[in-house]
Amino acid sequence: MKLDSIKIQQNYEKILEDIKKYSPYPEKVKILFVSKYFDVEEHKALIEMGYDYFGENRAQLYRDKLSEFSDEKYKNIKWDFIGRLQKNKIKYIINSVNLIHSIDSYELLDEINKKAIENDRIINGLIQVNVSKEESKTGVYIEDFKKDSEKYFSMSNVKIIGFMTMAPFEASESEINDYFLNMRKLKEEYQKQHDYVTEISMGMSNDYVEALKNGATIIRIGSKLFE
């Protein structure tokens, strides 16, 4: 795919304007490029345009792609993992990932911690919350998380710095707003107990404005940047 740098920049600037317009703390918001559809050459072109924060969602492709970005000039690129993570695939991302957005169970968290210990790393992570209780989505229900919250914060080598969620694609604007408001309340509740709980990853190309209004600090944008 031929990437149109002017169009991408215009779309990026529009999102920056929306951040200033809708976020209660625009200086804290980061735009995460959802880069799963790009091959290595397209990804290099994006980096040449000046973008440096990307989210991948398949562990083996993440590993293979990052092997192409080992040069010194790529050392400041940040790579987050945003997809569903199987326990046997943690090994593919553990040594390079900046932030894992999709810790959707305590069992997965425990396994990530074991791999982090083996690799002598402290990993930053987000708990994936199934805020709408959709059966098709993974993630912890808010009430279940609250029952056992302290065990999620007890890992030696995984630091839980916030939460991630996805609203149902077919939800109305008011429903999305309610879901995202619940996430904001959850983050604020646990930030009082753990001051490093600072991040909410929510909002994608179709609903990032509602996410911004409710305090998202990371918005995961894909198609909106290239339309």
Cα–Cα–Cα angle for 217, 68, 164, rounded to 5 degrees:
20
CB atoms within 10 A of CB 141: 13
Q: If you average pLDDT over every residue of the chain, what do you get?
A: 94
- Domain locations along the chain: 5-225
- The more confident residue out of 72 and 16 is 16
Per-residue pLDDT averaged across 15-26, rounded? 98
CB atoms within 10 A of CB 173: 10
Q: Which CATH superfamily is domain 5-225 in?
A: Alanine racemase (3.20.20.10)
pTM of the entire structure? Answer: 0.95
Q: Is the pLDDT of residue 170 over 90?
A: no
Q: How far apart are CA 49 and CA 6, in angstroms?
A: 10
